[in-house]
């Protein structure tokens, strides 16, 4: 039997069609041929044909009640789609692979498949990449594996920052903090809260940063942490309109221990005019009552 992948495919296709001479479909033989053909096409860098062969091999494994192998072939088809720059198929195939792993009751590989898809799409379709990262997190959390989702949350936040979607980046960091809280990973939790506050400040949304800080301070462990104190100092420096102080706190070791992406934006603070904040703060403090009357 020659190993010309074109011939293997046509032989396999014949085995999967009923005719006067063939009364039953031989999925086992056909799937083996599709697998051989897919690898042959891949070696020849014939990615479109390899992709189709992997799809057929995946379907064959499903017909043979082997969702695990079907998922593996779907991932290979996705790799071929990436070579072709077909981002929609990359997302579809990795999502399908994820469903197949889920059918095997395997949350970790199901999440990993979506994570791989997200990484493959970061440059070509970053908005889809963040969706896949978020779906990957959800699978792990449903399975009680919150700890395994931390890196995926960080990746999602990184892509949101690249897209300049600051609100979304901060929201994802808060989700990371909540996941960390569930597994008592206090350090990760506090780092995520401080990171979210820094993201709001980078977007020059002082009100949102302040609101976020006040919400986080409801959490005892944050209030008493280095990260909590650092956030407090940062917001005081903003309220005072003190650019030097903002820069000093942004360079502190507490900030240097955050994720690389967050350190990078913290180093650029303040991103807007902070003297206006000082004037606003003074306006807010002009109480109709004179301070001296309160003594």
CATH classification of the domain holding 221: 1.25.40.10
Judged against a pLDDT cut of 90, whether residue 287 lies above it is answered with no
In-domain check, residue 164? no
Residue 220 contacts residue 193 (beta carbons within 8 Å): no
Judged against a pLDDT cut of 50, whether residue 294 lies above it is answered with no
pLDDT at 230: 98
201: left (phi over 0), alpha (psi -120 to 50) or beta: alpha
Residue 231 contacts residue 197 (beta carbons within 8 Å): yes
Choose the weakest-confidence range: 4-18, 66-80, 246-260, 275-289. 275-289
- The DSSP symbol for 92 reads H
Identify the domain containing residue 199 by its residue range.
183-282
In-domain check, residue 11? no
Q: Which residues have a Cβ under 8 Å from the Cβ of 153 and sit 6 or more positions away?
A: 133, 137, 172, 173, 175, 176, 179, 192
In-domain check, residue 50? no
Judged against a pLDDT cut of 80, whether residue 26 lies above it is answered with yes
Say if residue 114 is exposed, middle or buried (CB neighbours under 10 Å; 0-12, 13-18, 19+).
Answer: buried
Q: Which residues have a Cβ under 8 Å from the Cβ of 123 and sit 6 or more positions away?
A: none
In-domain check, residue 273? yes
Please give the distance of CA 13 from its chain centroid, rounded to a whole number. 38
Which two tokens mark 260? 């690389």
Residue 242 contacts residue 233 (beta carbons within 8 Å): no
In-domain check, residue 238? yes
Which two tokens mark 59? 């379907």
Average pLDDT on 176-183 reads 96
What are the two backbone dihedrals, phi and then psi, of residue 75, each rounded to the nearest 5 degrees?
A: -65, -40
Residue 136 contacts residue 152 (beta carbons within 8 Å): yes
Judged against a pLDDT cut of 60, whether residue 83 lies above it is answered with yes
Judged against a pLDDT cut of 80, whether residue 283 lies above it is answered with no
Max CA pair span of the chain: 104
In-domain check, residue 177? no
Choose the weakest-confidence range: 95-99, 170-174, 208-212, 276-280. 276-280
Average pLDDT, the chain: 94
Judged against a pLDDT cut of 90, whether residue 279 lies above it is answered with no
Q: How confident is the model at residue 3 (pLDDT cuts 50, 70, 90)?
A: confident
Judged against a pLDDT cut of 50, whether residue 170 lies above it is answered with yes
Average pLDDT on 71-77 reads 98
* End-to-end CA, the chain: 100
- CA-atom Rg of the chain in angstroms: 27
- To the question of pTM greater than 0.75 for the whole model, the response is yes
The count of structural domains within the chain is: 1
* Residue 125 to residue 129: CA distance in whole angstroms: 6
In-domain check, residue 257? yes
pLDDT at 2: 52
- The DSSP symbol for 267 reads T
Tokens 């001479």 locate to 21
Tens of pLDDT, residue by residue over 118-164, are 999 999 999 999 999 999 999 999 999 999 999 999 999 999 999 99
Average pLDDT on 177-182 reads 96
In-domain check, residue 215? yes
pLDDT at 291: 46
pLDDT at 293: 46
Where are the alpha helices (H) located in 122-162, listed in sequence order?
A: 126-142, 146-162
Judged against a pLDDT cut of 50, whether residue 187 lies above it is answered with yes
């Amino acid at each position: 039997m020659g190993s010309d992948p074109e011939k293997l495919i046509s032989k396999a296709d014949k085995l999967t069609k009923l005719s006067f001479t063939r009364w039953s479909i031989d999925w086992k033989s056909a799937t083996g041929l599709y697998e051989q053909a897919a690898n042959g096409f891949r070696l020849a860098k014939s990615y479109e044909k390899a992709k189709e062969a992997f799809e057929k091999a995946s379907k064959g494994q499903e017909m043979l009640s082997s969702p695990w192998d079907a998922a593996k072939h779907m991932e290979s088809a996705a790799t071929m789609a990436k070579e072709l720059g077909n981002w929609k198929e990359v997302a579809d195939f990795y999502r399908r692979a994820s469903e197949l792993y889920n059918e095997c009751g395997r949350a970790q590989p199901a999440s990993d498949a979506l994570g791989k898809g997200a990484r493959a799409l970061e440059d070509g379709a970053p908005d889809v990449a963040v969706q896949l990262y978020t779906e990957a997190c959800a699978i792990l959390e449903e399975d009680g594996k919150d700890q395994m989702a931390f890196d995926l949350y960080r990746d999602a936040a990184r892509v949101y920052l690249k897209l300049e979607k600051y609100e979304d980046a901060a929201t994802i960091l808060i989700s990371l903090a909540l996941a960390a809280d569930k597994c008592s990973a206090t350090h990760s939790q506090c780092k995520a809260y401080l990171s979210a506050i820094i993201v709001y400040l980078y977007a020059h949304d002082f009100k949102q940063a302040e609101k976020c800080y006040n919400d986080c301070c409801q959490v005892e462990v944050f209030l008493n942490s280095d990260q909590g104190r650092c956030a407090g100092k940062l917001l005081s420096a903003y309220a005072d309109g003190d650019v030097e102080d903002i820069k000093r706190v942004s360079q502190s070791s507490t900030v240097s221990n955050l994720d690389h992406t967050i350190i990078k934006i913290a180093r650029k603070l303040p991103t807007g005019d902070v003297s206006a904040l000082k004037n606003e703060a003074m306006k807010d403090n002009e109480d109709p009552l004179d301070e001296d009357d309160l003594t």
